[in-house]
Structure 1
Amino acid sequence: METYGGRRGQSERDAITVEIGYALVSAAFAAAVVFGAVAGPALLFELPGTVELVLVRTAVVLAPVLFLARVVSVLVRFRKAPQPSQPGRTSPDS
């Protein structure tokens, strides 16, 4: 991703920005879905107090853990992805 001995070009900075945005949006969506799936029954239905408490606390713990795991996995995968040798062109193997 970095050029030798120098700064990143505009296209590389744009690619990093897009990837960070994708990581944050997809992580927020995944965390919201998990929170809704785990805590949803407790918020929609009248359940015994202990069950409600366990479901909501589990969701409160799981959602941020999933958020962080998703962000890290997307950004690590992006860093390891092979980049084309010349800007605007794909590698011969693609």
Structure 2
Amino acid sequence: MTSQGARRSQAERDAVTVEIGYALFSAAFAAVVLFGAVAGPAYVFELPAGARRVLVGGGVAVAVAVFAVRVVSVLLRFQRAGQPRHPGRTSPDS
């Protein structure tokens, strides 16, 4: 239900589903890329065990943080944008 107590239309539910999927997919992609950037040298070069552990741990920490921040930011931006009154139509002032 919406904040006014009315039920959401199928289009609104679909929009929320698509936005959640986009948030998760884009967050996972960003997390993988940043993990590779931080921890990649640990797998490419022969490094001591301590340095490898630090790089991989740092990569995991960065990936988790980026994933969480990306999901939250996408979903908050979607919530603030609001839903169009007539999906598929543009308003005269747009």
Partner in structure 2 of residue 47 of structure 1:
47
Cα distance, 1:84 vs structure 2: 2.7
Partner in structure 1 of residue 63 of structure 2:
63
- Structural RMSD (CA): 1.8
Count of aligned pairs: 94
Partner in structure 2 of residue 92 of structure 1:
92
CA, structure 1 residues 9+3, in 2 after alignment: closer, same or farther (shift >3 Å)?
A: farther
How far, CA to CA, are the matches of 1:39 and 1:56 in structure 2?
5
| 2:12–2:83 CA contact under 8 A, matched in 1 | no
Partner in structure 2 of residue 10 of structure 1:
10
| TM-score normalised according to structure 1 size | 0.89
Deviations 1:28-67 (A, max 9, x none): 0000001111001001110123221211110111111110
How far, CA to CA, are the matches of 2:3 and 2:61 in structure 1?
40
Cα distance, 1:8 vs structure 2: 0.2
Structure 2 unmatched ranges of 5 or more: none
| TM-score normalised according to structure 2 size | 0.89
